[in-house]
Amino acid sequence: MRGISDGLRITNAMRTPIIAGNWKMNNTIAQARELVNALRDDLSRLAARGSVEIVLCPPFLAVPVVAEMLQGTPIRAGAQDLFWESKGAFTGEVSPSMLAEVCAYVIIGHSERRQFFGETDAHVNKKIHAALAHQLKPIVCVGENLAQNEAGKTAEIVGAQVRAACAGLAREQAREIVIAYEPIWAIGTGKAATGAGANAVIGLSIRGALADLYDEEIAQAVRVQYGGSVNAKNAAEFFAQAEIDGALVGGASLIAPDFIAICRAVVK
């Protein structure tokens, strides 16, 4: 099994951390404006240093509004999902060509999409290809549920999800993705993985799968976030880990002081 060495800390310093706020199905357009106004100045100062990339992912209806409010700042706008076709008779879906006009990033394969809307690894892979074809950067979510974790299947499940997500991607395409390790048992439960535990899964299972698929250079180039009950109090524990390059933040991204504190923690 691939090991984690202190030498990986050197490559960690070469990866720019990325913090993405996933607002999920929260905030009207008016509320989105209020939150961006509360975040914009502080986050702009942090992102302008070049030591962290910050992305806000509101619900679809608010994406154009948020994107417009972020123009002229170093903060990026992202979406929470997309469909793999550019256009057509797909009622209710949003295409990558539509998002490409306003977004830089898009979340793909979040556990809630898999759990509530039946998304499979094959769907996730098609969405990744579609996003990259339209110059959108995917934030690809992988992670195990509580039963799989307790059965000792974390490495098997997470590694398989990474391999399925990257199927058919050239190495230079793989370099463009961001992976978010989100243990499902830690999402919205207030129960986060430990920094050391998340670090081990990312180093062995996620970077290990990337090294098997491509090579060690790609494994070390891809940024990997942690997601799952990240908050202002525990963020520093995760960011201190060599393999963790930021966070996909849920509930705390809706509270301006907390999200700002998380972004400050990664800069420190």
Q: Tokens 């039946």 correspond to what residue?
A: 118
Domains defined for the chain, CATH in brackets: 8-267 (3.20.20.70)
d(CA 158, CA 175): 18
What angle separates helix 256-267 from helix 29-48, to the nearest 10 degrees? 20
Q: What is the pLDDT of residue 3?
A: 56
**pTM, two decimal places:** 0.94
Residue 27, CA distances (Å) to 32, 50, 58, 227, 247 in order: 6, 29, 8, 20, 21
Catalytic residue, from 53, 182, 237, 243: name it. 182
CA 224, chain centre distance (Å): 8
Contact 46, 74 (CB under 8 A): no
Q: Is 129 in the active site? A: no
CB count in 10 Å sphere of residue 157: 18
Both tokens assigned to 66: 């948020």
Q: Is 110 in the active site? A: yes
DSSP state of 75: P
CA 22, chain centre distance (Å): 9
Q: Are strands 223-227 and 178-181 parallel, antiparallel or unpaired?
A: parallel
In which residue ranges of the chain is pLDDT below 70? 1-13
Q: What is the CA radius of gyration of the chain?
A: 17
Q: What is the pLDDT of residue 67?
A: 98
Catalytic residue, from 110, 119, 134, 237: name it. 110
